[in-house]
Amino acid sequence: MTGFAVLVLRDLRLVWRRPGDVAVVLAFFVVATTLFPLGIGPETNLLARLAAGVLWCAALFASLLSLDRLFASDYDDGVLDLLLLAPWPLELAALAKCAAHWIVTGLPLAVLAPLLGVAFGLDAKSLLVLAATLAVGTPTLSLIGGLAASLTLGARRGGALLALLALPLCIPTLIFGASAVETSVSGEGFGVHLAILTALALVSLATLPWAMAAALRQGGE
Amino acid sequence: MAPPHTPPRLEAPLLEVLDLACQRGGRRVFEGLSLVLEAGVLLALTGANGSGKTTLLRALALLVPLEAGVVRWQGKDVAADREFWRGQIAWLGHLDGLKGDLMVRENLLIAERLRGGDGSRVDAALATFDLTNLASRAVRTLSAGQRRRTALARVVASGAVLWLLDEPLNALDAPAQTALRTALATHLASGGLAIAATHTALEIPGARTLELGVA
């Protein structure tokens, strides 16, 4: 088994031992999104138009919630030194941490979102589009958040700084994720938006692990 | 990719450090530091708090950038092949490097697999530090000394040639200190090399001492 797989499985096992951390994130997503239909009232047309933006923003905030501990926990207990000293590329270790984060955050968000979309009166096709955009878009959020987490390693008030760093970088993903669902609601083609989301994910995948590794080496000094 | 524990030729120096200099936070911690160590040697780093013991260990592992100087392993500059060099090192920092939510044995197995090993030495290493009956306890439930023993067992289980140890005796009781001395002696006798920052004498026959912070 490669170090990459070992690290992904280790992080999943740690989440399994402490499921509360992930449960809080998913509960936040559910509560935050259901507040909107309750606050706005049963105006189905208005809700359907808001759905994409609200669900995407809530997913973005939810995935950032758990990110401040992504590298900080390994930094605090000294395991980061062992990752820095592992005889394989640190870029892969950073990617493994983000992959584990996506499996326990992004993927459940993509599964949950269509269920919540029902409360916004989205049609069946748009619910599927919503799930698809989140499935393709949340890896980008995990990678960008991972970069912010590695840059704020050891910083005081790292959580707030992390959000400040990560949120602006997530704007393109947010725009194309939400607009894919909107165009689906208004009955237009959404393929282009989905393609751009995929492109954003691939560009993040191809560049951010290197940036994260560099930040971790600095932080590990 | 487990580093093979091949005893190198005894006459050649295993580790050479030439004219090393390091800065931390804008302050020169040491400079012009040179070392030549053969297989089977323990080097004890001593010196006051803040004299650069930890920095030297981190510099040797290339965890901090070298301001000047070169580190050679078996005659080759270690900066040329960092992944190979990292494979030669077993690291014990001042933090234990253990996950509190994982069990003792899990911690060792995962650490060993992250190094590319198969974990075959884990059970023997646990026995060395009398941890066999704690193997399925979560590390967060252990005392400081028990955690330190687990971290030391991780070093032993790595099978790496070079042990870099930062205050290995911290929090250890008398039987655990004896176990560490025995493990160190076995490691050195099989052609290993160890560098330990310490305030307490390790009492290993033939150990060399380098006092830092003496201008």
> Which pLDDT value is given to residue A160?
86
pLDDT of residue B7: 53
Length of chain A: 221
The answer to whether position B82 is within a domain reads no
Per the structure, the count of domains in chain A is 1
Mean pLDDT of B200-207: 81
Q: Are the C-beta atoms of A46 and A40 separated by less than 8 Å?
A: yes
Mean pLDDT, rounded, for B23-38:
88
Q: A49 burial class (0-12, 13-18, 19+ CB within 10 angstroms)? A: middle
A200-214, B23-37, B119-133: lowest mean pLDDT where? Answer: B23-37
Judge contact between B172 and B141, C-beta under 8 A.
no
CA-closest candidate to residue A179, choices A25, A29, A48, A52: A52
Q: Are residues A98 and A142 in contact, defined by beta-carbon separation less than 8 angstroms?
A: yes
Percent of chain B whose pLDDT exceeds 90: 71
φ and ψ at residue B201, rounded to 5 degrees: -60, 135
pLDDT band at B5; cut points 50, 70, 90? low
Is the pLDDT at B9 greater than 70, yes or no? no
**B139 inside domain:** yes
The distance in angstroms from the start CA to the end CA of chain B is 41
CB-nearest partner of B93 from A3, A78, A88: A78
CA distance B3 to chain A (A): 9
If we measure between CA atoms, which residue out of A104, A112, A165, A164 comes closest to residue A139?
A104
- Alpha-carbon distances of B119 from A126, B1, B115, rounded to whole Å: 49, 12, 10
Does the pLDDT of residue A201 top 90, yes or no?
yes
Q: What is the CATH number of the domain that holds B93?
A: 3.40.50.300
Q: Do A78 and B98 touch (CB under 8 A)?
A: yes
Return d(Cα A113, Cα A142) in angstroms, integer: 17
Q: Is B119 exposed, middle or buried (0-12, 13-18, 19+ CB in 10 A)?
A: middle
- Cα end-to-end distance, chain A, whole Å: 29
Task: Please give the ipTM for the structure prediction.
Answer: 0.89
Are A70 and A210 in contact by the 8 Å Cβ rule? The answer is no
Mean pLDDT of B123-145: 94
Q: Which of B96, B102, B114 sits opposite A7 (nearest CB)?
A: B114
Residues 6+ apart with CB under 8 A from A85: B61, B63, B86, B89, B91
**In chain B, what percentage of residues exceed pLDDT 70?**
94
**Would residue B33 count as lying in a domain?**
no
Find the closest chain A residue to B114 by CA distance: A3
**What is the SS3 string spanning chain A?**
CCHHHHHHHHHHHHHHHCCHHHHHHHHHHHHHHHHHHHHHCCCHHHHHHHHHHHHHHHHHHHHHHCHHHCCHHHHHCCHHHHHHCCCCCHHHHHHHHHHHHHHHHHHHHHHHHHHHHHHHCCCHHHHHHHHHHHHHHHHHHHHHHHHHHHHCCCCCCHHHHHHHHHHHHHHHHHHHHHHHHHHHHCCCCCHHHHHHHHHHHHHHHHHHHHHHHHHHHHHHC
* Higher pLDDT among residues B109 and A186, named by residue: B109
- Tell me if A146 sits within 8 A of A97, measured CB to CB: yes
| B101 falls within a domain | yes
pLDDT tens digit sequence for A116-161: 999 888 899 999 999 999 999 999 999 999 999 999 998 877 788 8
Angstrom distance (rounded) from CA A72 to CA A60: 20
Tokens encoding A159: 């959580």
Q: Which of B64, B96, B106 sits opposite A78 (nearest CB)?
A: B96
Query: β-pairing, B15-24 with B68-73?
Result: antiparallel
Q: Which of A14, A81, A221 sits opposite B101 (nearest CB)?
A: A14
Per-residue pLDDT, A69: 87
From B210's Cα to the closest Cα of chain A, the distance in A is 23
User: Which of A9, A82, A91, A218 to probe the B interface (max B CBs under 10 A)?
Assistant: A82
Q: Is B86 in Cβ contact with A1 (below 8 Å)?
A: no
Tens of pLDDT along A39-61? 888 888 888 888 999 999 999 99
The total number of structural domains in chain B stands at 1
Structure confidence at residue B6 (pLDDT):
55
Check if A78 contacts B (Cβ < 8 Å). Answer: yes
Confidence class for position B215, pLDDT limits 50, 70, 90: very low
**Structural domain that includes position A114:** 3-220
Q: Token digits for B138?
A: 């979560």
Tokens of B130: 């009398």
Determine the structural domain holding residue B186 and report its residue range: 39-62+89-210
What's chain B's average pLDDT? 89
A63-80 average pLDDT score: 91
> Half-sphere exposure of A100 toward its Cβ, with a 13 Å CA cutoff?
23
Instruction: Tell me, yes or no, if A3 comes closer than 8 A to chain B by beta carbon.
Output: yes
B214 has pLDDT over 70: no
pLDDT at B29: 87
